[in-house]
Amino acid sequence: MVENKKYVNKYNFAFIDEATKREIRRKLLKAVAIPGYQVPYSSPEMPISRGWGTGGLHVTLSVIGKKDVFKIIDQGSDASVNACNLREFVHMMTDVKTTFDTSEATLIQTRHRVTEEELKENQIYIYQVPQPEPLRGVERYENKTRQMHGEADYAKMWVSIYESFIRHGDIMLYAGYPVKVNNRYIMAPSPIPKWDIPNLNQSKALHLFGAGREKRLYAVPPYTTVEPLEFEDVKFHTEDFTGLECFKTGYKKAYLDELYFDDGTRHFVINDSNFLDKLMEHSPLKQHSNKYIDKIEA
């Protein structure tokens, strides 16, 4: 895979200089210590565009060691172009082993999905975050949102959810559904579908979030309570795939992609590419369990 040897010689292990990596790790420790709190950090420029996963890369490159096994997905897929591009970059800069196998990986970088396969205690799950500020929709100023978080002043956020419900009969928030972490901070989980939200709650893995462009890091430590925002009588729910199944496996308990074939027919297929592969290969597999998935009949 290493095509350009010149780079390997030229750049530090994992591209970023050690001082900056240390800075990022310090900020990550702070983030872990205050679950859900956004820690500002330097966010050095990376050779990929802002908005294309620089924050995730900062985290990955700062915590990665030579023995790590690295997996990266974009939209649930190991094969998506951006995932391929970043995988190649990380590999070029570190020479660590890469994998598609969720259970084998020690570091998993993601854009917009949590794997269907359950995460384990020795895994770090790293999110690329386009907009770290869950309150941005109700308050445009950074100065103000920081203050709102500081004082747990979340009324506006709640009212916006109330408004959504009265206008549309449901909470019209989709991917990136806001959550409350450790009963304190409201956090943007990055644009993962609602399907994935319950899997953050009491997860065995460490979840790290990097928003490069907005220069913020935050974290959900293992075994932390993560709750979607909901009212007593107006509840959060996950995407509804009732009556649909994966056309390849007939499986119903996974997040599905909607496909249109050339003949115009519509099909659904399991989004998580590694999960799909394992199902088809009948490999051993332990899926996340939560009250929403568990309700679905297989």
Joined tokens for residue 198: 């319950």
Q: Does residue 121 touch another protein according to CB under 8 A?
A: no
Q: Does residue 280 touch another protein according to CB under 8 A?
A: no
Whole-number Å distance between alpha carbons of 32 and 207:
9
Span near another protein by CB under 8 A; candidates 99-107, 118-126, 151-159, 285-293 = 151-159
Q: How far is the CB of 263 from another protein (least distance, A)?
A: 10
Among the listed residues 142, 184, 249, 252, the single contact to another protein using CB under 8 A: 142
Q: How far is the CB of 182 from another protein (least distance, A)?
A: 17
Q: How far is the CB of 162 from another protein (least distance, A)?
A: 5
Between residue 68 and residue 107, which ones bind another protein under the rule CB under 8 A?
A: 74-77, 79-85, 87-88
Q: Does residue 227 touch another protein according to CB under 8 A?
A: no
Among the listed residues 153, 184, 225, 249, the single contact to another protein using CB under 8 A: 153
Q: How far is the CB of 68 from another protein (least distance, A)?
A: 20
Span near another protein by CB under 8 A; candidates 13-21, 202-210, 278-286, 288-296 = 13-21
For residue 12, the SS3 value is strand
Exposure b/e, 160-181, CB count within 10 A at least 16 = b = bbeeebeeeeebebebbbbbbb
Q: Does residue 262 touch another protein according to CB under 8 A?
A: yes
Residue with Cβ nearer another protein (121 or 163): 163
Joined tokens for residue 172: 């019209």
Residue with Cβ nearer another protein (223 or 231): 231
Q: Nearest Cα to 278, choosing from 245, 247, 248, 298?
A: 248
Joined tokens for residue 149: 């978080």
* Helix or strand run (H / E) with residue 30: helix 18-33
Among the listed residues 5, 6, 67, 261, the single contact to another protein using CB under 8 A: 261
Q: How far is the CB of 291 from another protein (least distance, A)?
A: 19
Mind giving me the DSSP string for 241-264?
-TT---TTT---SS-EEEEE-TTS
Rounded to 5 degrees, what angle do the CA atoms 201, 286, 83 make?
75
DSSP state of 290: -
Spatial neighbors of 59 by CB under 8 A, at least 6 apart, are: 24, 28, 109, 126, 208, 209, 210, 217
Between residue 19 and residue 58, which ones bind another protein under the rule CB under 8 A?
A: 19-20, 23, 40-47, 49-52, 54
Q: Does residue 294 touch another protein according to CB under 8 A?
A: no
Residue with Cβ nearer another protein (121 or 258): 258
Q: Does residue 16 touch another protein according to CB under 8 A?
A: yes
Q: How far is the CB of 204 from another protein (least distance, A)?
A: 23
Spatial neighbors of 66 by CB under 8 A, at least 6 apart, are: 13, 94, 95, 96
Q: Nearest Cα to 197, choosing from 226, 234, 231?
A: 226
